[in-house]
Amino acid sequence: MFTIDCMKDHSEVQTREFTKNNETKKMYSQDLFAHLGGPFPQKISVSIEGPEHALEIGKYKLTQESFKVGQYDRLELDGFNLAKTLVKA
């Protein structure tokens, strides 16, 4: 199974603001690093609900809940819920 790293000094929460229907909204994400079998981990960006839901520094593993059946019955990572479904390695 894949390992995801939340690395010190490389996993700060990013905030993006946008306006929809005259209302300012915020989206939050956190950079993590996925070990996909190559020599170096790949940087990925994961949506989170807010800064208080950021992952702590450490290693994580994907769970069954990390996946969903998407459009056209294809298996895919559940990007909006990924941070909530990871477990400490």
SS3 call for 81: coil
Query: Which residues span the domain enclosing 9?
Result: 3-88
Domain count, the chain: 1
Where helices occur in 33-88 by DSSP H, the ranges are: 82-85
Please write the tens of the pLDDT for every residue from 31-51.
999 998 899 999 999 889 999
28-32, 50-54, 65-69, 76-80: range with lowest mean pLDDT: 76-80
> How far, in Å, CA of 47 to CA of 49, rounded?
7
The CATH number that applies at residue 58 is 2.40.50.140
pTM for the full predicted model? 0.80
Taking the alpha carbons of 79, 4, 54, 66 in that order, is the dihedral positive or negative? positive
In the chain, what percentage of residues exceed pLDDT 90? 62
Q: Is the pLDDT of residue 71 over 70?
A: yes
What is the predicted pLDDT for the residue at 1? 67
